Amino acid sequence: MENITVKVNGVEISVPKGTTVLEAAHNAGFEIPTLCYMKEINEIGACRICVTEVNEGRGFRLVAGCVYPCSPNMEILTNSPKVIESRKKTLELILSTHDRKCLSCVRSGNCELQKLCKDYGVEDAGKYDGVNEHYEIDDTAAHMYRDNNKCILCRRCVAVCSKTQGIGVIGANERGFKTFIGSAFNMGLGETSCVSCGQCIAVCPVGAIAEKDYTKQVMAAIADPEKTVIVQTAPAVRAGLGEAFGLPIGTNVEGKMVAALRRLGFDKVFDTDFAADLTIMEEANEFVERVQNGGTLPMITSCSPGWIKFCEHYYPDLLDHLSSCKSPQQMFGATAKTYWAEKMGIDPKNIVMVSIMPCTAKKFEIGRPDQNAAGVPDVDFALTTRELGRMIERAGINFLGLEDEKFDDPLGISTGAAVIFGATGGVMEAALRTAYNTLTGKTLVDIPQVRGTEGIKEFAVDELNVKVKVASGLSNARQILDDIRAGKCNAQFIEIMACPGGCVNGGGQPQVPMGIRNFTDIRAERAKVLYNLDKEMPIRQSHENPAIQELYKTYFEKPGSHKAHEVLHTTYVKRKINEV
């Protein structure tokens, strides 16, 4: 590729032809601020925060740095007085239509707009105040709310919903000053075929969209002496929670997380990884049974509730391909309120099951039908990683100063196969480890072919005569499902995760500024935590988990038993488009 030479603030660098001004500045060590830009997803130059002075031989002029291509010998000024004044004025104009209740906003202290206003010295926030539209908060969805009074029309949410997820239930309505982001015909989000993935929340730069917060209800339950409040934490949470306390992306905080949960007052701190091992036992058994008995193939994993809802809405004719296994979250709750409740002599009605998840769709999942094995909901509250971070801060817990602690037994015992569930390909790898051992008696542990952040991966297990596929991000899932419909899919086993990169990039994980997201693969950095933990685990295959073996020996009898189906398996709903 042809390279060209440009100067950024006097620093001469060589960049490939076609490189944008923003990218060139980044390569030279200068960061140009943005509000709307998402690399390869939302390159629209709309917010004008990225304006930069360039000189191509005709004198300096302002351009949108995120989309303007470099030319040979271009001079670029990223912080000239003219640039700074332009950005400051743009911020003042954005604030003129923005609900500036910053102190009570969920994003206060972690808001991209707030930081820019501080950086550029915006003192008179009401400089351009005038007539404004007022919008009612949309809280019709089970997992989140939308407050258009805080929306800055960056369209990041629209882009990720449409392009990354292939859903497109939100977009720009009206025109000009009256433009707002909403659903067709002004429907509430909960009235659409939104799949609850929360990717729109993950990329929103301000507090216009956020998960519904249930931390007060959880703390009230903890304060109730008649309730036994237990908590489970998903594998991806330990790879993301540290970011809420200023730690680098890709920091493992498992031990500190457990210690913090105990200090919040939970009666027992368990690991969802235990149920991930349980899921593999049931799912691997189901797959082997389908292969041996002529069941519906390919079989598709059922751990991601966003993916399940997507299939129910958009591919209801393919529901028979889904594994009937509940997700690890729901399996854990069901097991806790049956097996563990009996063992401890506690009435399931007095157990409050709280899950800490990287996923907003889990909030929808806990209200699904057929998720009440003990006659009460398997899980009572699903909190995001962000909610847990806020609980810890609110309680005054010195998170960074905590000594590491371990999960409680027996529902805290797990394997390396379970912890990699949080990364795309992890469920497939864990299932293959057990299925391979079941069918061949041999050990297969590391399967690099299903790892990585690529949207679609394939792998053939020759000894099993099985071909598998792995997809993350629902636009990639759509490609595979279209192939199944057309009879073109030659895989027997498929893993699908709603969020790109898997649960480590879930809609409930700590928000990362787009200036970092655009140049750092946070999915890969968080996934490293899980794969490193897997390597360090003394047991790396789900069927070797002694707590799981004891559970089957004393309670479920064997994978796929009648009792296992009653407690650990579920059913699905054929939904129409725009039908909840």
CATH of the domain at 34: 3.10.20.740
The two structure tokens encoding residue 460: 């053939």
**Cα 158 to chain center, whole Å?**
17
Q: Which of 317, 326, 267 is nearest to 296 (CA)?
A: 317
Share in percent of the chain as helix, strand, coil (round to 5): 40, 15, 45
Residue for token digits 């998402």? 38
Specify whether 61 is located in the same domain as 179. Answer: no
Residue 44 lies in a domain: yes
Q: Which of 570, 536, 540 is nearest to 277 (CA)?
A: 540
Residue 107 lies in a domain: no
495 bridge partner residues: 470
Query: E strands within 234-276?
Result: 268-271
Among 165, 183, 211, the domain boundary falls at 211
Among 196, 211, 226, the domain boundary falls at 211
Specify whether 433 is located in the same domain as 331. Answer: yes
The whole domain housing 376 covers 215-568
Specify whether 60 is located in the same domain as 154. Answer: no
Specify whether 143 is located in the same domain as 259. Answer: no
CATH number for the domain that contains residue 420: 3.40.50.1780
d(CA 265, CA 37): 42
What's the number of domains the chain is made of?
3
Residue 209 is classified by DSSP as E
Position 579 scores a pLDDT of: 66
Residue 96 lies in a domain: no
Residue 297 lies in a domain: yes
Residue 467 lies in a domain: yes
Residue 580 lies in a domain: no
Backbone angles phi, psi at 227, to 5 degrees: -105, 140
Q: Which of 29, 4, 20, 32 is nearest to 514 (CA)?
A: 32
Specify whether 206 is located in the same domain as 221. Answer: no
d(CA 131, CA 125): 15
Residue 573 lies in a domain: no
Q: Which of 514, 532, 547, 551 is nearest to 156 (CA)?
A: 514
Q: Residue 232 belongs to what H/E stretch?
A: strand 228-233
CATH number for the domain that contains residue 130: 3.30.70.20
Position 126 scores a pLDDT of: 83
Q: Are 425 and 468 in contact (CB under 8 A)?
A: no
Specify whether 510 is located in the same domain as 482. Answer: yes
The two structure tokens encoding residue 58: 């005709």
d(CA 423, CA 522): 12
> Along the chain (580 residues), what's the average pLDDT of each consecutive run of 10 residues?
94 96 97 97 96 97 98 97 98 95 95 97 88 95 97 98 97 94 95 97 98 98 98 98 98 98 98 98 93 95 98 98 98 98 98 98 97 98 98 98 97 97 97 89 91 96 92 98 97 98 98 96 98 97 97 97 98 84
Specify whether 170 is located in the same domain as 57. Answer: no
Specify whether 436 is located in the same domain as 299. Answer: yes
HSE at residue 439, side-chain half, CA atoms within 13 A, is: 20
d(CA 375, CA 414): 27
Q: Are strands 60-64 and 51-55 parallel, antiparallel or unpaired?
A: antiparallel
Specify whether 335 is located in the same domain as 469. Answer: yes
Q: Which of 425, 192, 424 is nearest to 314 (CA)?
A: 192
Position 580 scores a pLDDT of: 62
Among 211, 230, 261, the domain boundary falls at 211
Residue 367 lies in a domain: yes
d(CA 548, CA 277): 7
Q: Are 194 and 580 in contact (CB under 8 A)?
A: no
d(CA 117, CA 35): 12
Specify whether 127 is located in the same domain as 42. Answer: no
Residue 247 is classified by DSSP as P
Specify whether 180 is located in the same domain as 322. Answer: no
Work out the burial of residue 266: count CB atoms within 10 Å of its CB; fewer than 13 is exposed, 13-18 middle, 19 or more buried.
buried
Specify whether 298 is located in the same domain as 360. Answer: yes
Distances (CA, A) of 37 to 94, 181, 183: 16, 17, 22
Q: Are 34 and 515 in contact (CB under 8 A)?
A: yes
Position 1 scores a pLDDT of: 74
**Cα 467 to chain center, whole Å?**
27
